[in-house]
Amino acid sequence: MDTKVQNIVLKSITALIIFLGVLFTVWVMGDDNPAEMSYEQQEQWAIKEAKDLELNKELTSSELNQHITQRTAEIAEEKSRTLWGDVSLVIGFTNTILILAVIIVLGGFVYLAIIDRQKALRILAGIGIFALLMVIVYISSSSDVPAEMINSEVGLLDEEKIHTPENWKIASAAINATGILIFVALIGWIGGTVVKYFR
C-alpha cells in the first residue's frame, strides 16, 4: 500500500471516529437527566402525558394528582435508565477505540522496532504520554453519584444497582476521554492537512 492510499485510509478512519464520537456525545447530551432537574420540572413530563391521554376526564382530582406523582417517579426512573444506557454505549465506543488504538500502536511499534529502533523509542514515549493522559482523565473524573439516582435504587440489592461510584467514575472518564480523543483526532487531522498544504 503506497503512502497516498495510506493517508486516504487514515484520514477516512479519523473522520469516522470523529463523526461517531460527536454523534454519541450529542446523543448522550440530548438525553434528559433527572438528576439535574427539580421535581417540578420532572413533574411536567407526567402532566403532559396526563393531558395527552385526557386523564382529567376519567379520574377525579385526587386520583389525577396521585397518578401524576406516581408517573413522575416512573418517568424519571425510565429516563435515568435511558441515560445510563446511552452512557454505556459511549463507554463501549471509547473502550473499542482505545483497544484498537493499543493494538495498532503495539503492532506498529513491534514492526518499527525491527527496522528503526530510534523511531520505536520515540513512539514508546508517545504511548507513555497517552497512557499517562488516560490515567489523569480517570483519576480526575468524578465518582459522585447524584442523590436522585441513588434514591431511585433504594431497596435494590448491591449487585442490582447500576448507579455505583465505580460505574459513575468509569462513565465520567469515558465521556471525558471521548471528548479528548475527538479533540486530538480533529487537531491531528486539521494539522496534517495544513502542514501538507504549506509544504
pLDDT tens readout for residues 122-137? 777 777 887 788 888 8
| Confidence (pLDDT) at 101 | 75
Residues 125 and 188 in one domain: yes
Task: Please indicate, yes or no, whether residues 64 and 80 belong to a single structural domain of this protein.
Answer: yes
Tell which residue, 151, 149, 139, 148, has the closest CA to residue 176.
139
Position 175 scores a pLDDT of 77
DSSP tag of 56: G
What is the domain extent for residue 131? 117-198
Residues near 86 by beta carbon (within 8 Å), at least 6 away in sequence: 24, 27, 28, 31
Average confidence (pLDDT) over 89-98? 79
| 158 pLDDT above the threshold of 70 | no
Of the two residues 169 and 2, the one the predictor is more confident about is 169
Q: Hey, how many other C-beta atoms are within 10 angstroms of the C-beta on 151? A: 12
Q: In this structure, is residue 20 part of a structural domain? A: no
Residue 24 belongs to some domain of the structure: no
Tell me, what's the pLDDT at 20?
76
Measured CA to CA, the distance from residue 113 to residue 130 in angstroms comes to 19
Identify the residue with better confidence: 161 or 33: 33
**105-109, 129-133, 168-172, 176-180: least confident range:** 105-109
Please tell me the predicted confidence (pLDDT) of residue 6.
58
Looking at residue 90, its amino acid is: V
Q: Is residue 1 part of a domain?
A: no
128-137 exposure pattern, b = at least 16 Cβ within 10 A, e = fewer? eebeeebeeb
Q: 84, 115, 146 — which closes off a domain?
A: 115
Q: What pLDDT is stored for residue 56 in this prediction?
A: 80
pLDDT band at residue 93 under the 50/70/90 scheme: confident
What's the CA angle centered on 83, arms 167 and 69, to 5 degrees? 110
Contact 18, 44 (CB under 8 A): no
39-52 and 61-115 helices, crossing angle to 10°: 110
Final residue of a structural domain among 88, 115, 142: 115
Instruction: Please check whether residues 134 and 177 belong to one and the same domain.
Output: yes
Residues 40, 101: one domain?
Answer: yes
pLDDT digits (tens, 9 = 90+) for 69-85: 888 888 888 888 888 88
HSE-up (13 A, CA, CB side) for residue 155? 2
- Asked if the structure places residue 91 within a domain, the reply is yes
Question: What pTM was estimated for this model as a whole?
Answer: 0.50
Cα separation, 123 vs 144, whole angstroms? 36
Same-domain check for residues 126 and 111: no
Residue 73 three-state SS:
helix
Residues 78 and 125 grouped into a single domain: no
> Residue 134: inside a domain, yes or no?
yes
Q: Which residue has the higher pLDDT, 81 or 35?
A: 81
Considering the domain boundaries, does residue 163 fall inside one? yes
For residues 88 and 121, state if they share a domain: no
| Lookup: cell for 32 | 434528559
Is residue 35 domain-shared with residue 109, that is, in the same domain? yes
Domain C-terminal end among 60, 87, 115: 115
User: What pLDDT is recorded for position 19?
Assistant: 78
Q: What's the total number of domains in the chain? A: 2
Examine the domain organization and report whether 185 and 140 are in the same domain.
yes
Distance CA 172, CA 30 (A): 16
138: cell is 480517570
Are 80 and 133 members of one domain? no
In a domain, 49, yes or no: yes
- pLDDT tens digits along 97-125: 778 877 877 777 777 778 777 777 777 77
Q: What is the pLDDT of residue 155?
A: 61
Answer yes or no: do 146 and 92 share one domain. Answer: no
